Structure 1
Amino acid sequence: MMELLSGASVGTFKNLVWIIAVVIGLLFLVGSRVSAPLKIAARVVTALMAGTAAFAAANLAVVFYILAHLMDPRWSVGRDARVESPEVSAGPFFQPITDTLNDILDGLTGSVNNVIALKNAFLTMPDFIVAAGWASFVLVGLAIANRILSSIIEKDQIKQIDRNTRDLADIRAQFGLAPFQDTRVEAR
């Protein structure tokens, strides 16, 4: 998996995050058939919650991946050019001095390029952090909607159980059987 990610660009990571979110959300739609409108709405909200949570988690995973590979040149694509050190040369008499000077310049430009890569990595991460933050914000709203739908469905189920219990008590009374000794479930 890491070999696959090592060649992925920032755009590929953004697309991968969306693909993961959609697949997870669709997996939550699969299940037994639901025909009641409230239950259909609850399943859709649950699928949206799952997809949104997966979206936030995948964005944070990309942030951690970038943190683990800070010096990767992928983060600087289209941003800052790499600094190249000039080659200093002189005659054969000054060759040892120019070689030392070239080594110092190479080390210096390598350090500058590392700082540029680090800066670009930190400029890439906010895209994913902000997306994860917005997803978390949306997730709170979806959780509230899901809880409201669940409460309505639960009340409807309690009412249906109460109706069924009354109907069964009526049938038992018509046949002359003793009434139930169980406690009744009351609708709220």
Structure 2
Amino acid sequence: MEMLSGVSVDTFKNLVWLAAFIVGGLFVIGSPVSSPLKITARAVSALLAATVSFAAANLAVVFYILAHLTDQRWSVGKDPKLDSPQLSAGPFFQPITDTLNDILGSLTGSLNNAIALKNAFLTMPDFIIAAGWAFLLLLPLVIVVRIIAWFIEKEQVRQIDRNTRDLADIRAQFGLAAFKDTAKSRS
């Protein structure tokens, strides 16, 4: 028995949003950050992760629908299910009416499958469009993450330079020899 067999289209939409919130929330948790730049970086990274998971979850639903095209869930509220009429006759014509009932049942079953297939293809664009919007949002988010990372790297380099100068001052106060800069000697 399949776990998602009873899930409706609206529930799939809610699950997609829930997955995005959970993944984004997981990116927010972590070691405490103190600088506003790092707080911003974490928030934008969480938004980026949530957007990626939103797009992936929407595409997963599309693939699920493709794997279950003739499922009646895609027809709910759209097209009524066709029922074949049951023919009956006296005992002499019973074999003929049974054969006709089988043919009509097979025909209406095929028509119901075609209707479900049409409705599945009408349901998928909701998820495809949502994934498309998420992918459209990814490029600006990646650019913002990279810009923030560049500012953080610059701040870290400045901090390393300050720490190196402070350490050199402390060494000079104790009368110790200055550092040999191995990076400059390699050049």
Interval of TM-score (by shorter of Structure 1 and Structure 2): over 0.9
Tell me, what secondary structure is at the counterpart of 1:32? Answer: coil
Structure 2 residue matching 1:92: 3-state secondary structure: coil
Matches of 1:183 and 1:61, distance apart in 2: 52
State how 1:30-179 maps to structure 2 within 5 Å.
30-179=29-178
In structure 2, what is the Cα distance between the partners aligned to 1:99 and 1:44? 67
Partner of 1:2: 2
In angstroms, what is the RMSD of aligned CA positions?
1.6
SS in 2 for 1:2: coil
* Partner amino acid, structure 1, of 2:41: A
1:183 deviates by 3.8
The Cα of 1:82 is off from its aligned counterpart by: 1.1
Distance (whole Å) between structure 2 residues aligned to residue 33 and residue 174 of structure 1: 35
What is the alpha-carbon distance in structure 2 between the residues aligned to residue 70 and residue 53 of structure 1? 26
Alpha-carbon shift at residue 16 of structure 1 (Å):
0.7
Normalising by structure 2, report the TM-score: 0.92
Judged with a 3 Å threshold, the aligned counterparts in structure 2 of structure 1 residues 131 and 47 are, in CA distance, closer, same or farther, namely same
Cα distance, 1:35 vs. partner? 1.2
Q: Percent identity at matched positions?
A: 71
Q: Give unpaired runs (5+ residues) of structure 1.
A: none
Q: Which runs of 4+ in 1 moved over 3 A?
A: none
Other structure's SS at 2:30 match: coil
Contact 1:52 1:139 in 2 (8 A): yes
Letter in 2 for 1:2: E
Aligned length: 184
Deviations 1:54-94 (A, max 9, x none): 11111111111111111111110011111111222333322
- Structure 2 spans left out of the alignment, 5+ residues: none
